[in-house]
Structure 1
Amino acid sequence: MKKILILTANPTNTKPLRVSEEVREIKSAWERSLNREQFEISIGEAVRPQEFRRTLLDHKPDIVHFSGHGGGEQGLALMADNGEAILVKPDTLNDFFEIVQGSFKIECLVLNACYSEIQAEGIYPYVDYVVGMNQKIGDTAARQFTQGFYDALFAGESIETAFKYGRNAIQMENICEHLTPILKIRTNLDFQAISASLKDIRLESFDGQVSLNSSFYIERLNIESNCYQTILEPGALIRIKAPKKMGKTSLMSRILNHGVQQGYQKVSIDVWSPETLTDISTFLQWFCAFISEELNLEVQIEQYWKKFLPNQQNCTKYFSDYILTQVDKPIVLGLDDIDEIFSYPQIAGEFFKLLRSWNEKGKNSDIWQKLHIIIAHSQEVYAINFDINSSPFNVGFSVELGEFNQLQVKELIKRHGLNWSEQEIQKLIDMIDGHPYLLRVALYHLAKGQLTLDEFLKKAPTEEGLYRDHLYKYLSILEDNQNLKIAMKEVVKSDIPVQLDAKIGFKLRSLGLVEAKENKIIPLCNLYRLYFSDRLSN
């Protein structure tokens, strides 16, 4: 028999929630079920922190359902003794469920509270399935999710299937919040019991994007889920900005794949050949031809390209009258490394005006709403010579990728089968912070047993280290640009944040060598400080 524990909290100083109705929905679904004898339901209302702990220890439930208020980073709202809210911080909840894991097993935790994805992110290493909300969720949507989830669960369906029914229940009521619930699934591997040998974990190459089926891809809080929701909006435009090797391409491939799963056709461009960048006419004709080929359409440039019409107009007509008309499904178009065009300002300016105009058309035109665009770039667009207001770079949904936080670093370490102490984890972070690529390189070699952590730390900022090619590439770039070299030398030699010329700061950030601290600049990680302090002094 599976035990289900329902906990609610609706503090007096918060917006009233209809949590009692949600409880009734679960009990009603249980009473209707032909399998109700397989489940036992217990309820705890107006729970305070001590009751939260005691009811879990007393009942040792398989499934825990919490209904109440969430505040993201601020915490989950339980009841204080005076009836008002007391916020339990994410780290505190993470620690609690880590302790619980040693006492008994919770199969599933449902956090039916706004912005609870951050709690789900921290708890799922200790619970098999955790449901959270990636944004604010309305009362009606929350209840519909609960209905669909427990109808399926009591009918004998799996947690994953029940989750899908829950989302679909929201959708069937024409509520546009069905992508708000997210499901975090703990890997089947017991990382505490795994050695770092290759026979236990299949390590993957750290070069290039992280493959779609990789267990080493780490989701960032709210980013993937928000992108998946946004890309399905009519005429959607998503902009992904991050320094090099931060995971732009890996994220884009997942958004494209999500579109495919929803029945969209995808086209991805990640190579911008100088042969096509000679003039705007050649470039736009190549662009149209490439997309036609990718969609298995006959290339009909000559038929649609009118000699006396502007190139942008020809390109727009080719899309509206041919591509978008011939294809009966929405198209999701990924433009990766688009900043390679920045070096061709005349072409870049005209092309970006075109993308902006298509996005504007999508607000009113059914045919243009079929085109969903993702743009990824490293360089700061404000440092480039074109009109930002006639480009796609200040419209649409903006995503900026940074380094992994400490929880994400810990999770990646676990997935490499390394059972490290907090001190060892901190040593790694002190050297390379949460840089995704630097972490993948280090953990790949450490998991293979090719060197110890102390050996890695000693050699990392030297020519003997794992990053010698990576660091030398950046050194060559700095040596070729004296302004960048002088600025980087100033940054790594200073113990406090440095004020730089805005354009120079933008370029160093685009390279991924520094980060902003308010309006000043510091090295991105200690690896760069140590290496460039030495090399730029010689």
Structure 2
Amino acid sequence: MKKILILAANPSNASKLRLDQEVREIEAGLQRCKYREQFQIISKWAVRPDTLRQALLDHEPQIVHFCGHGSGVEGLALENQSGQMQLVSTSSLAGLFALFKGKIDCVVLNACYGEIQAEAIYEHVGCVIGMKQTIGDNAAIEFAKGFYDGLGAGRTLDDAFHFGCNAIDLEAIPESSTPIIKSKSSHHLNNQNLNYPNVSQSLTGEPDTNQKLNKIEINNQESASISRDILLESPPIDLDIQNPINTLVAAKFPLENPEGQVPLNSPFYVERPPNESDCYETILQSAALIRIKAPRQLGKTSLMSRVLHHAKSRGYQTVSLNFQSADAEFLGSLDGFLQWFCASIADSLNLADRLDEYWRGILGSKNKCTRYFERYLFAEINSPIALGLDEVDQVFKHPEIASDFFGLLRAWHERAKNEVEWQKLALIIVHSKEVYIPLNINQSPFNVGVPIELPDLNREQVQDLIQRHGLNFTDSQVEQLINLVDGHPYLLRMALYQIARGRITLERLIEIAPTEEGPYSDHLRRHLLNLQEDEELLAAFKRVVGTYKPVDVGTTAAFKLRSMGLVKLRGNEVMPLCNLYRQYFGDRLN
């Protein structure tokens, strides 16, 4: 008999998960499975580090299933003596499972961001399943149901993993690519006592009339024996599908029009390690300041949203403030701007603005703004606050505001290093352009904190994105697509969306992409208009697209063009980001 040890932890200071339902679904699935007599379930709740160790020693399970919260590089979230969160590091978990090497067949980490722990534990366990990003309650439950349905039907661990992913798909939940498996081979559980039938016998399609009703023993605090006569018949599936070149196959997820930020639950968001894990780790530290810089449409806002979501799952209050939403009337003076800034944050926190109370006296605007945070926002909000400032480029256009405002952010960051009150504030600053406004090096927030620069997608990530759109590309076609748009996330998604919708073929896309007829016409025209507003920059870019060799256009022009996302750097020289830009602008500028 195989023992499945379920470890559940749902700390009181973390968002509540439906772990009881997950455990019930696992139990119910195994109660009705064909080989239910082969499994024993043992459930442990409110797991602490010491009870984790003791449970492994006492029960000697072959499968360990953790359900609860994960925190990426910080580890798994267990509970302490008072029921609050206690993070257990990845190295500690790996070290614990090393002590059970050869005794545990499989570890399932059904928690957000469990991939990092899965990698470490995999050194000591033959099969480990984790989640590469956040996973919703419904998806986690469906995965568990499908996984144990597969195991209970006598399938291999690898097969059971795919049943779990498919269970998410069948419920139309766009998270079936979130689970990942680390497996040394496609194998059954390592126990000669399991009486799984020969595969050839299961293909006959004839029912086993001698099948006996069996029992699965469920231990949930105390054991109880339950008999059911429902059998899961699940013959092996042989997929042998031939897809013609450049044709649409069944899409794994509902398609999304690639505009604006990528939604939190979108299967089309591609992580670019280690950026996400670095941000998730940093945002929870005291005096946190993260600076995300990248050209337009490379995923800055999408990353910021995920960092704020991560902070929220750890008990933070979160505010996302886009400076494009500031009316022109508030950008005329520092005082008006800071009042808008404070009122906007208070509104996001569901507080009255109370500016009339805190904006009195002869103190300057920066002092009033600081007092507003100290005496009002921090006093009203007991938890830490993660503040995301998006599109701060808008402030660069107003030097009379910019130097004082950014100096204020830097001052708050410095105070947070020593003053507990200011450690409640975590900052994320998002911008596209290089900072050309004159800022004192000691008063700028752009040379402190953790800098994050978003790279283009690499070939492996491009191939993954193609598959998520349900497309079957040859290596040659992948190369053609990358040659056209490089690894630019927006340009890639636009191409794949159009092809997956059946609106165009890759060959036709390559033909019309650099023209006004193509799907990129609005994107390209916007860049052209921006270039035409700066004659020097226009002349510099004209030189870049006029040759196939990298060009030295000077530091200022190079960084401005890179900030616009039109070029990539090659040492001190630049070249067009992709052939799409070379062809379109080569034609328009000449």
**Given that residues 241 and 376 in structure 1 are in contact (C-alpha distance below 8 angstroms), is that contact kept between their aligned partners in structure 2?**
yes
> CA contact under 8 A between 1:203 and 1:444: conserved in structure 2?
yes
Letter aligned with residue 218 of structure 1: V
* 1:56-455 equivalent positions in 2, closer than 5 A: 140=92, 142-144=94-96, 158-160=108-110, 183-184=131-132, 188=166, 196=248, 201-270=253-322, 271-381=325-435, 383-455=436-508
SS of match in other structure, 1:458: helix
Structure 2 counterpart of 1:494: 547
Where does structure 2 lack aligned partners over 5 or more consecutive residues? Answer: 4-51, 67-72, 74-88, 121-128, 134-161, 170-175, 178-238
Query: What CA distance in whole angstroms lies between the structure 2 residues aligned with 1:254 and 1:267?
Result: 12
Instruction: Deviation per CA, 1:498-523: give whole Å up to 9, x if none.
Output: 11122111211111101111111111
Give, as a single letter, the amino acid of the residue that structure 1 aligns with 2:267: S
One-letter identity of the residue aligned with 1:316: T
Preserved contact between residue 149 and residue 164 of structure 1 (Cα < 8 Å)? no
The equivalent of 2:59 in structure 1 is 33
> Is 1:432–1:439's contact at 8 Å kept on the other side of the alignment?
yes
CA separation of 1:522 and 1:274: change in aligned 2, threshold 3 A: same
Q: How far apart, in 2, do the equivalents of 1:162 and 1:150 lie?
A: 26
Residue 388 of structure 1: CA displacement?
A: 4.1
Relative to structure 1, the CA distance from residue 157 to residue 144 in structure 2 (aligned partners, 3 Å threshold; closer, same or farther) is closer
Q: Does the C-alpha gap of structure 1 residues 213 and 140 become closer, same or farther in structure 2, counting only changes over 3 Å?
A: closer
Q: CA deviation at 1:466?
A: 0.9
* Whole-angstrom CA distance in 2 between matches of 1:455 and 1:446: 10
CA distance, structure 2, for counterparts of residue 229 and residue 183 of structure 1 = 17
- TM-score, normalised to structure 1, is 0.69
Match of 2:187 in 1: none
The amino acid that maps onto 1:488 is: F
Per-residue deviation at 1:273? 2.6
Q: Contact 1:29–1:147 (CA<8 Å) still a contact in 2?
A: no
Distance (whole Å) between structure 2 residues aligned to residue 208 and residue 2 of structure 1: 49
Please say if residues 115 and 132 of structure 2, whose CA atoms lie closer than 8 Å, have aligned partners that are also in contact: no
**Cα drift, residue 386 of structure 1:** 2.8
Task: Identify if the C-alpha distance between structure 1 residues 300 and 448 changes in structure 2 by more than 3 Å, giving closer, same or farther.
Answer: same
What is the CA deviation profile of residues 29-85 of structure 1, one whole-angstrom value per residue up to 9, with x for unaligned ones? 766325x4x56xxxxxxxxxxxxxxxxxxxxxxx9xxxxxxxxxxxxxxxxxxxxxx
Determine if contact 2:111/2:131 at 8 Å carries over to the other structure.
Answer: no
Alignment correspondent of 1:83: none
Does the aligned pair in 1 maintain the 2:551–2:574 contact within 8 Å? yes
Q: TM-score by structure 2 length? A: 0.63
Runs of 4+ in 1 over 4 A off after TM superposition: 26-31, 137-141, 144-151, 161-168, 185-195, 197-200
Instruction: Report if the CA contact (8 A) 2:567-2:575 is conserved.
Output: yes
Larger radius of gyration: 2
The amino acid across from 1:208 in the alignment is G
Of 219-228 and 297-306, the range deviating more from structure 2: 297-306
Unmatched tracts of structure 1, length 5 or more: 4-25, 40-62, 64-106, 109-114, 116-136, 171-180
**Once superposed, what is the RMSD of the aligned Cα atoms?**
3.6
Q: 1:314 to 1:509 in 2, by over 3 A?
A: same
Query: 2:404 matched to 1:456?
Result: no
How many residue pairs end up in the alignment?
Answer: 407
Q: d(CA) in 2 for partners of 1:409 and 1:299? A: 46
Q: For each residue in 1:421-440, what CA deviation from the matched residue of structure 2 results, as whole angstroms up to 9, or x when unmatched?
A: 11110110011010000001
Cα gap change, 1:394 to 1:150, in 2 (>3 Å): farther
Residue 280 of structure 1 aligns with an amino acid whose one-letter code is L
Q: Offset of 1:355 from its aligned partner? A: 0.2
